[in-house]
């Protein structure tokens, strides 16, 4: 007999609306985690705030909720923070008013990703109502308030704390809005890595009328950029797109018309696939840069002032977890989800170091945009998918 029958009254749509009304723009908690904590305690979870501070970064509130103490441990991971609203006057409804209109729930976080948190809460409530808290396994929610920001005081530290006290996770689904056009059409089984490199190209400053006395770093940088973008870095791998590289800024700040500057700064970002580690790729790119610079001749040099890796690429091979979730999506929606590794980074990159992880959630078309929204029907479908995932994972 189950020890306690938990009440099952969590409504995905109502909970999403309540969460959207909390203005939890990173790093503000704004009541979102408090609300979630009350909800989860009400259905039988033990909740623990894992708030972290670090000098030079914003204080961040996080919530870890778990029901069950043994057996297989399934974790749902997500974030309660949202990106800023941007140009408020472009919104046709209040970004935090959570209005329902024409079958949609509007508001910042409706898609990315308060809707998914609410859906998983309802799924858990229903599962626990049927099975009781003593179902022989463990379910947890790992919710950070620092995903859209620097991601320093969030998921990384929560996972570390769990590991330090010997708490292991066996499988994880992240509720990012992975569906592309239609609910259920895509899940993410990996992500590309991301690396940003700042460099300074140094030459010899001089009067433009005396080119023989100067070494123009802008011209050198031009040759370097040419060499870096002319040939693809790779052709992609079985599960990943080709590695891409984009220069994002070039800064000289030279106001004079008769002086060639002494140096120029540039920054590029690369999204790399599983053929590379950030280290291997950096070495490869530096080699390309040096070769191009040498070909220019002269005395100019390239200095690397900063290399920031926000994540290595990761990949969960199609197997038990992928098939389990894909099956639930298929059954609930009739749609076959594409197994994708496209898009930006997510906190799944941290979780992948601990257990198999994939991402599945709402349609992400309006994420980070004005008039962010989710279809009410999709919110209900997502709750059903997550509930099926729990049933399949723990055995009906």
Binding site for Zn ion (CB under 5 A): 112-113, 176
In terms of Cβ atoms closer than 10 Å to its own Cβ (0-12, 13-18, 19+), residue 307 is middle
Q: Say whether 147 is catalytic.
A: yes
Q: Say whether 185 is catalytic.
A: no
Residues 6+ apart with CB under 8 A from 334: 184
Q: What's the count of helices (H) and strands (E) in the chain, helices before strands?
A: 9, 19
Beta strand segments in the chain, E: 46-49, 62-67, 73-79, 100-101, 104-106, 138-144, 171-174, 186-188, 190-191, 193-202, 206-207, 244-251, 259-260, 263-272, 301-311, 314-315, 338-340, 357-359, 373-375
Residues 6+ apart with CB under 8 A from 366: 110, 111, 372, 373
Could you tell me the smallest distance in angstroms from the CB atom of residue 113 to Zn ion?
Answer: 5
How many C-beta neighbours within 10 Å does residue 225 have? 17
Q: Produce one character per residue of 175-195: b if its CB has 16 or more CB atoms within 10 Å, e if not.
A: bbbbbbeebbbbbbbbbbbbb
Residue 167 Cα distances to 46, 71, 152, 163, 164, angstroms: 14, 12, 21, 5, 7
Instruction: Pick the catalytic residue from 29, 37, 81, 146.
Output: 81
**In the bound complex, which residue of the shown chain has the CB atom lying closest to Zn ion?**
112
Could you tell me the smallest distance in angstroms from the CB atom of residue 33 to Zn ion?
Answer: 16
Q: Is the separation of the CB atoms in 152 and 71 below 8 Å?
A: no
Cα torsion for 123, 124, 126, 132, to the nearest 10°?
A: 160
How many C-beta neighbours within 10 Å does residue 368 have? 15
Indicate the residue among 26 and 313 with the shorter CB distance to Zn ion: 26
Instruction: Pick the catalytic residue from 29, 112, 122, 147.
Output: 147
Could you tell me the smallest distance in angstroms from the CB atom of residue 159 to Zn ion?
Answer: 17
Residues belonging to the active site: 81, 147
């Amino acid at each position: 007999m189950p020890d306690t029958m938990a009440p099952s009254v969590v409504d995905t749509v109502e909970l999403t609306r309540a969460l959207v009304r909390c203005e939890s723009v990173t790093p503000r908690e704004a009541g979102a985690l408090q609300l979630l904590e009350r909800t989860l305690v009400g259905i039988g979870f033990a909740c623990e705030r894992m708030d972290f501070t670090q000098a030079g970064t914003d204080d961040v509130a996080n919530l870890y909720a778990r029901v069950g103490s043994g057996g297989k441990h399934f974790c749902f991971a997500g974030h309660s923070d949202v990106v800023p609203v941007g140009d408020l006057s472009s919104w046709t409804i209040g970004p935090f008013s959570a209005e329902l209109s024409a079958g949609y729930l509007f508001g910042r976080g409706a898609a990315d990703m308060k809707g998914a948190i609410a859906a998983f809460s309802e799924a858990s409530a229903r599962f626990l109502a049927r099975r009781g808290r003593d179902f022989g396994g463990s379910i947890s929610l790992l919710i950070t308030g620092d995903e859209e920001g620097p991601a320093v005081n969030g998921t990384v530290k929560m996972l570390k704390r769990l590991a330090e006290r010997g708490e292991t996770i066996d499988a994880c689904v992240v509720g990012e809005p992975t569906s592309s056009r239609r609910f259920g059409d895509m899940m993410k089984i990996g992500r590309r890595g991301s690396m940003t490199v700042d460099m300074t190209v140094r030459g010899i400053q001089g009067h433009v009328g005396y080119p023989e006395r100067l070494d123009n770093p802008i011209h050198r940088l031009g040759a370097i950029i040419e060499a870096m973008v002319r040939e693809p870095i790779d052709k992609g791998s079985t599960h990943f797109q080709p590695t891409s590289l984009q220069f994002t800024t070039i800064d000289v700040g030279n106001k004079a018309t008769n002086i060639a500057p002494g140096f120029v700064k540039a920054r590029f970002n690369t999204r790399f696939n599983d053929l590379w580690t950030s280290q291997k790729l950096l070495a490869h790119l530096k080699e390309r840069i040096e070769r191009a610079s040498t070909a220019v001749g002269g005395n100019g040099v390239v200095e690397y002032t900063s290399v920031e890796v926000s994540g290595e690429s990761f990949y969960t091979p199609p197997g038990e977890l992928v098939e389990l979730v894909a099956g639930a999506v298929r059954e609930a929606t009739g749609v076959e989800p594409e197994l994708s590794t496209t898009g930006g980074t997510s906190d799944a990159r941290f979780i992948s170091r601990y257990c198999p992880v994939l991402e599945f959630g709402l349609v992400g078309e309006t994420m980070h945009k004005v008039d962010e929204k989710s279809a009410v029907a999709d919110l209900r479908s997502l709750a059903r998918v997550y509930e099926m995932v729990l049933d399949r994972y723990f055995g009906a």
